[in-house]
A and B are shown apart, each in its own frame.
Chain A
Amino acid sequence: MGWDLVVILVVPGVVGVACWWLPPRVGRPLSIASGLLTFVLALLLVPARTPSALHGWLRADSLSVVFVVAVGFLYLATMVFAVGYLHPSGGPTHQARYLRRAFAGLNVFCWAMAVAPLVSSLALLWVAIEITTVVSALLVAIDDTDGATEAAWKYVLIASMGLGISLLATIVVYYAGAVTIGHDYDLFYPTLLAAASRFPPQVVRLAFVLAVLGFGTKVGLVPVHTWLPDAHSEAPTPVSALLSGALLAVSFYAVLRYFQVAVRTLGPTFPRDVLLAFGLASLGLAALYLASQRDLKRLLAYSSIEHMGILAIGMSFAAPIAVVGVLLQVLAHAAAKGTAFFGAGSVVRKYGTKDMRHIRGGIGALPWSGPMLVLAVLALSGMPPFGIFRSEFLIVEGGLSDPHDAVVAVLVVLVVLAFLGLSWFSTKTMQTPTPKSVVRGETSKWIVGSMVIGVVALTVLGVHPPGQLSDLLTRAAAELRAPR
């Protein structure tokens, strides 16, 4: 029982360590295989069951599975992309030593993100998320440019401060539990949630705010988002895709775990109000900044902040359908943002710059990845028939079904503003005549392949999500509701 959880706990980590020594020609297929294995195992977790392993230290309830699926998917897609992108043809820095380190880091990073939703204790969740920070900070710095060094330092410092705050939140929750349950318990979710209604409310209130602020630093919630655009734009593109599509989501998962406890102790109003405040600030600031970006990867980074804001706002709506929308958005955002960053990587490789003023005629120059990048950006701005359209629709519908009209109106206006920012980019850089100096043609089949995977996933999520996946989202949304 639960062997699949143990495999996810062991394999990607071992593959990561192995890639440190193995030559890239072995490391590449090994990484793809590990990504595929993780994704398949994650999909096998989707049907209703709650496996646990290692005496309950690993446990996958429906909420965990949503996030493991998102990480597993992006693990696979990013590894396919990385095979094409991290290639000796990519420039003088992409030599064997660099490639070995990069693949080792990417695997360990994915390992930590896949394990974080599977550990069954708030304390180990913190440990896993801290590991994602240190590994990804090194990956941000790996290009060894001035910009990468600056971004990595800011990232590790700000994220570590955030994690210091969330460690405090962990300890405060433990204290709340110790008052009620007694000192000898392991912060396991089932124990915690069963007793949460008897916790001292003031202490849980403190813990929840600390957790939202602390883990929110890694989610990229305004005003603690400042590391995010720098790290996303300066990191190598596979790392940017993982940061944006998976890491932010996993950090949001940590917030949701505290939300579960807080809802049981305090009732739904207070936790929802806190998330609403952070969500509106994030969405508002990101929508404004999206319009003024010149750097392609920074543009996508601000789009991530926008989507994290939408997730937080969605959690603040009482209707269960909004929570289903939030969880669907986690999956759809992973696919859309991954694809968009892969496309950005393709463009950067082609034009040798991230500056959108120097990128013209993308669709003409890149016959496959150009159009798919446009599709991904349209998906990100909430166009049908893609997954984010469906999820944002559910969130808005949920907001309208209880008296949240003002918030919904603001949400829709800001999303439209973000849409304008994103579509301005796509018209200006992609749908213009291609300059004669740019040679038509793709840079790598692997990059195109990774984008096809992403677009297919986005379309499936938007047109007709599989029945079992919908069931999973409904069950996970029920786990997030306060028991009556």
Chain B
Amino acid sequence: MLLAHSVILSSAATVPSTFAGVADALTVLVLLSEFAMLHAQLSRSQIRLYAFQSLVVTALAVYVAAERHIPGLYAIAGITLVLKVVVIPAIVLTLLRDARVELVASHRLGVATMVLIAIAVSVFGIFTAGSITVQSRSLPSGALGLAIAAVLVSFLLIVLRSDVVSQAVGFFSLENAVSLTSLVVAAGLPLIVEVAFFFDLLVAVVVFGVLMRVHHSHHDTLSTRQLDRLRG
């Protein structure tokens, strides 16, 4: 009873602003879609989840732009929408259609184990970031920790799934999580720098696409399990 009382008191002491609330909610959505990608069976649904995740990031960019009066961010939101919600998923889906692969059995562990590990990793990320964050008006309470959790789960996606699509989508969503951090923490980042980041991402996606195609043409599968020749 006493405990509940003190919790209510302490939460009343730091009422989150609307901005922090919306930012935290959208960040949680990004983290959840990361979890969904981790256990999705079909490569196609992973890509759709990635498109959804990008849409959430776009929404957050628009919201931050409106709330903080940073017009440059509308441009960023526009580019995110075009590139990450439409173009990149379309490229990877085309690739999949050409590869004529529906389902790649790529789970290294059972779904339940993977999700448990992902939860443990997220908790680690949230608490680590929480312990080192300095208090600041511009930083919503939990967003940095949640974004770092999303980064860590995207690593799991790369590590625990053994097919090229999961691993590429893992990298793309890693980049989403980092963009999210930049929106929350560094919204004023100069436009030219943001545009350079996007350009780089696009080039990286093209390279991933080329290498996925090359991989498929050599091994006739999207699985990465035969990639074990080079060692030592």
Interface residues of A (CB under 8 A from B): 121, 123-124, 127, 130-131, 133-134, 137-138, 141, 144, 146-147, 149-154, 156-157, 160-161, 164-165, 167-168, 171-172, 174-175, 178-179, 183-184, 186-187, 200, 202-203, 205-206, 229-230, 233-234, 289, 292-293, 298
| B142–chain A nearest beta-carbon distance, Å | 15
Q: B171 and A178: CB pair below 8 A? A: no
| B132–chain A nearest beta-carbon distance, Å | 5
Find chain A residues with CB under 8 A from B174 CB.
Answer: 160-161, 164
Instruction: Name the residue among A133, A156, A233, A234 with the largest chain B CB count within 10 angstroms.
Output: A156
Which residues of B177-230 are within 8 A (CB) of A? 178, 181-182, 185-190, 193, 196-197, 199-200, 203-204, 206-208, 210-211, 214-215, 218-219, 224, 227, 229-230
17 CB contacts below 8 A, A to B, read A123-B197, A127-B200, A138-B211, A141-B210, A157-B167, A160-B171, A161-B158, A164-B174, A167-B175, A167-B178, A168-B148, A168-B178, A175-B139, A175-B185, A183-B187, A186-B190, A186-B193
B interface residue count range (under 10 / 10 to 19 / 20 to 34 / 35 or more): 35 or more
Q: B171 and A203: CB pair below 8 A? A: no
Find chain A residues with CB under 8 A from B158 CB.
Answer: 157, 161
Q: A168 and B181: CB pair below 8 A? A: yes
Cβ contact of B215, chosen from A138, A153, A167, A172, cutoff 8 A: A153
Asked whether any CB of chain A lies closer than 8 Å to the CB of B124, the reply is no
Q: B207 and A137: CB pair below 8 A? A: yes
Q: B136 and A179: CB pair below 8 A? A: yes
Asked whether any CB of chain A lies closer than 8 Å to the CB of B110, the reply is no
Which residues of B119-154 are within 8 A (CB) of A? 132-134, 136, 138-139, 148, 151, 154
Other CB < 8 Å A-B pairs besides A124-B193, A150-B229, A157-B171, 5 of them? A138-B207, A144-B214, A147-B230, A156-B204, A174-B186
Interface residues of B (CB under 8 A from A): 132-134, 136, 138-139, 148, 151, 154-155, 158, 164, 167, 171, 174-175, 178, 181-182, 185-190, 193, 196-197, 199-200, 203-204, 206-208, 210-211, 214-215, 218-219, 224, 227, 229-230, 232
Q: A130 and B151: CB pair below 8 A? A: no
Q: B215 and A171: CB pair below 8 A? A: no
Inter-chain CA distance A152–B185, complex, in Å, is 34
* Inter-chain contact total with CB atoms closer than 8 Å: 129
Q: A171 and B182: CB pair below 8 A? A: yes
Cβ contact of B132, chosen from A121, A124, A127, A202, cutoff 8 A: A202
Q: A153 and B188: CB pair below 8 A? A: no
Inter-chain CA distance A288–B212, complex, in Å, is 34
Q: A123-B193, A157-B167, A206-B132 are in contact. Are A152 and B186 (CB under 8 A)?
A: no
Across the two chains, which residue of chain A brings its CB closest to B155?
Answer: A161
Q: B230 and A183: CB pair below 8 A? A: no
Q: A127-B200, A171-B185 are in contact. Are A121 and B214 (CB under 8 A)?
A: no
